[in-house]
Amino acid sequence: MTAGPKGVARPLGVSAVLDVVLGLLVAVVLPLAIVAIPNTVSVVAALLPPEISQIAMVRAHGLALPAMVLTVPLAAVAVRRVRAAPLLVAGLTLLAVADAAGGYADSTLLVGVLRVLHGIGAGLLVPATLAAVRERSPLLRAVWGGMLAVSLLAAQALALWPLDQVRSWRVTLQPYPMLTGVALALAAVYLVLWMKRGESAPAGGGTDAAERGRLPVAVVPAAGIAALALGSTFDWPPDLLVGAALLSILVLFGLASLRTLGGAGGRVPAYTMLAVGVVVLPTAAQVTYVELGGLGGPGLSGLWPAFVIAGVAGVVAAALVSRLGDGAVSLAGAGGLVLVVAGLCAVRLLLPSPGGPAPIIPLVLLGVGAAVALTSALRSSGLGAALFALSLFFPAVLSGFLLGSGVQFMSLKDAATSQALVDGFVGALHLWALIAGGLVVVVIVLCSVLARRSPAPASVTADTAAEDPLPPGGQSPAEGLSAGRVTGPVMVPGPAPELEPLTGPRPSWPDPAVRAEPEARGEGDRPGRDGTEPGAEPRPEPRPDKTGTLPVVPPPTPSPEDAPGDGPART
C-alpha cells in the first residue's frame, strides 16, 4: 500500500471520533444550558429559612436568564476569535463551580451570584456548540437544532423533576451536578481531539467588518429586555407588563429586519429563531404547570412519556431535514412553523387533560415543528448570520416569558378560590396559545414574502459562501476528501499517481479572508511550464480579501405536585 492512503487514515479516524464526541457533547450540554433558565425556587419556598425573603429569593434566582441574554451576543463574537472548544470548557467549568458552591448558599446575595454564573456559563455553551457543529457534518448541525428544540420543550419539567420531595431548597441551584461533570469530561476529550487535529488557530479572521459591528449590536436590546425583566419583579401591573413585552418583541423583529447578516437569506433564520424563542419554552412551561398533579393533571410522572416521544421525534425529524435538497429546505422550514401553530392549536383544544395520550399530541407537534424549523433555517445561513439569530433568540425567550407572565397575572387577578385559580391558569394557557399562534403565523408570512423576493437559494448568500466549509446537504469529512474538499489534513493531487499530504495540518474552518482551495490541473500546470520541478505540489491561489425574566410560574408552592393555594401568596 502506498504512503498516501496510510497518511490519511489517521486524520479520518480522529475526525470520526471527534464527531461522535461532539454529538454526545451537544446532547448533554444543550439541555444543561437551557435547564438553567426556569426559576423554580418558589416551588420550595416553604423550605427557605424564615430570615430570607421569599420574594427577594425569587428575584435573585431569576437572574440566570438575564445573564444568559447578555452573554450570548458577546460569546458569539468570542467564538469567532478563540474558537469553540476552549469556550465549551470554560462554560462547563463555570456551571460546575456554580453547582458545587450551590450546596453552601445561605443568602440571597450568594444565590444571585451563583445564578448569574449559571447564566454566563450557559450563555457561553450555546454559541460554542453551534460554532462547533458548523465545522462538522450536516447531520451534527441537525442534531444541534433537534436538541435545542427538545431542550426548550422539556426545560421546565427537567427543572422541576429534582424538586419532588426534597428537603433542601438548595437543590434548585444544583439540579444535575453529575451530568455537569459528565459534560465537562466530554468537553475535555473534545478539546484534546480538537488540538490533536491541529485546529488551534484562532478564528479572528473569520469575521469581516460588517459582522464585527452587527453581532455586538444585539447586546443593546438584550440589555434593555433584561432590565425590563428585572423591573417587572417589582409588582408591575399586568397591562404594563404585557405592553413592555410586546414592545420588546417588536424591537427584536425590527433589529432582525434591519441589521441581519446575509440580506434576505439571513432574515429567515433570525425570524425563525425569534418565533421559536418567544413561543416554545413559555408554552411548554405553562403546559407543564397546568398538567401537574396539584392542578388535576397526570403529574410529572405522567408527562414523561409525552416528553420522551416528542424528544425522539424532534431529533429524528431534524436528521431527516438534513438530508433534503436545497429546494425543499425553505418549504420544510415553513412546514415546521406550521406544525408549531398546529401544536398551539392542540394545546388550546386538548389541554388540560387528566392523563392518557392527550398531552402527547401537542408536545410532539411543538417539538417536531421547532426542530424542523430551526434545522432548516440554520442550514441555509452562514455562521455569522446563525450567531446573530442566536443572539436575538434568548432575548426573545425572555420576552415570551414576560408576555406569558402578563397574560397569567391578568387571568389570575380576580381568583379568590382554588377552583378559580385553576380556571385562571387554564384560561391563561388558552389565551397564550392563541397569541403565540398568531405570532408564528406572522413569521410564516414574513418568511414566505422573503422567499419570493429572493430568486437565489439562501444557501448561496455571500455570508454562507464565505463561512460554510460544507454545502447544504454536503458531505462528511471522508466524503469531502474523496470529492476534493478541504476538511482537515488533506491529500492533494500531484503529477505522480500516489497521493502526498500537504505539509502541516490545515484547520477544517478555513479563513474566509485568504481561503486556498486545490485547483484542477490545467495545461499550464504541467511540469516545466511554470518553472516547477516535476512532482512538485500545485500552488493554491489565494482569493482576494473579503471586506466588506422571570419564568412563567404559578404562585409559590412547596412541591410541584401540591394543590394550588398551599404555598405563600405572591406579593
| Dihedral (Cα; 197, 204, 131, 274), 10-degree rounding | 180
Q: Note the pLDDT of residue 539.
A: 47
Instruction: Kindly report, residue by residue over 308-317, the tens digit of the pLDDT.
Output: 999 999 999 9
Confidence class for position 211, pLDDT limits 50, 70, 90: low
The whole-model pTM stands at 0.78
Q: Note the pLDDT of residue 101.
A: 94
Q: What is the pLDDT of the chain when averaged over all its residues?
A: 78
Q: Note the pLDDT of residue 13.
A: 66
Q: Note the pLDDT of residue 161.
A: 92
295 pLDDT higher than 90: no
Mean pLDDT along residues 13-21: 83
Cell 469556550 identifies what position?
A: 87
Q: What is the DSSP string of 72-87?
A: HHHHHHHHHHH-HHHH
Confidence class for position 493, pLDDT limits 50, 70, 90: very low
Q: Which residue did the predictor score with more confidence, 205 or 107?
A: 107
319 pLDDT higher than 90: yes
Confidence class for position 506, pLDDT limits 50, 70, 90: very low
How many CB atoms are located within 10 Å of the residue 454 CB? 16
Q: Which residue did the predictor score with more confidence, 298 or 91?
A: 91
Q: Which residue did the predictor score with more confidence, 237 or 7?
A: 237
For 15-197+215-452, CATH number out of 3.40.50.1370, 3.40.50.1820, 1.20.1250.20, 2.40.30.160 equals 1.20.1250.20
Q: Note the pLDDT of residue 110.
A: 95
Q: Note the pLDDT of residue 313.
A: 97
Q: Which residue did the predictor score with more confidence, 485 or 374?
A: 374
Instruction: Kindly report, residue by residue over 126-170, the tens digit of the pLDDT.
Output: 999 999 998 888 899 999 999 999 999 999 999 999 998 888 999
Confidence class for position 11, pLDDT limits 50, 70, 90: low
Read off the C-alpha cell for 79: 467564538
Q: Note the pLDDT of residue 286.
A: 94
Q: Note the pLDDT of residue 570.
A: 39
203 pLDDT higher than 60: no
Q: Note the pLDDT of residue 418.
A: 84
Mean pLDDT along residues 38-44: 91
- Angle at CA of residue 89, ends 83 and 92, nearest 5°: 130
Cα gap 460→418, rounded to integer Å: 57
Q: Note the pLDDT of residue 120.
A: 96
Cα gap 48→355, rounded to integer Å: 32
> Could you tell me which of 154, 151, 174 has the C-alpha nearest to residue 162?
174
Lowest mean pLDDT among 69-78, 187-196, 287-296: 287-296
Lowest mean pLDDT among 62-71, 142-151, 266-275: 266-275
* Most confident of the ranges 303-307, 417-421, 489-493: 303-307
Lowest mean pLDDT among 72-86, 122-136, 221-235, 468-482: 468-482
Q: How is the chain split into domains, by residue range? A: 15-197+215-452
The kind and range of the H/E element at 13 are: helix 3-34
What is the separation, in whole angstroms, between the first and last Cα of the chain?
Answer: 77
Mean pLDDT along residues 39-44: 91
Q: Note the pLDDT of residue 442.
A: 92
368 pLDDT higher than 50: yes
27 pLDDT higher than 50: yes
Share of the chain above pLDDT 90, in %: 48
444 Cβ partners below 8 Å, 6+ apart?
A: 334, 337, 338, 341
Lowest mean pLDDT among 309-313, 353-357, 445-449, 539-543: 539-543
Q: How far is CA 149 from CA 76, 136, 152, 315, 434, in A?
A: 20, 20, 5, 8, 20
Q: Which residue did the predictor score with more confidence, 528 or 281?
A: 281
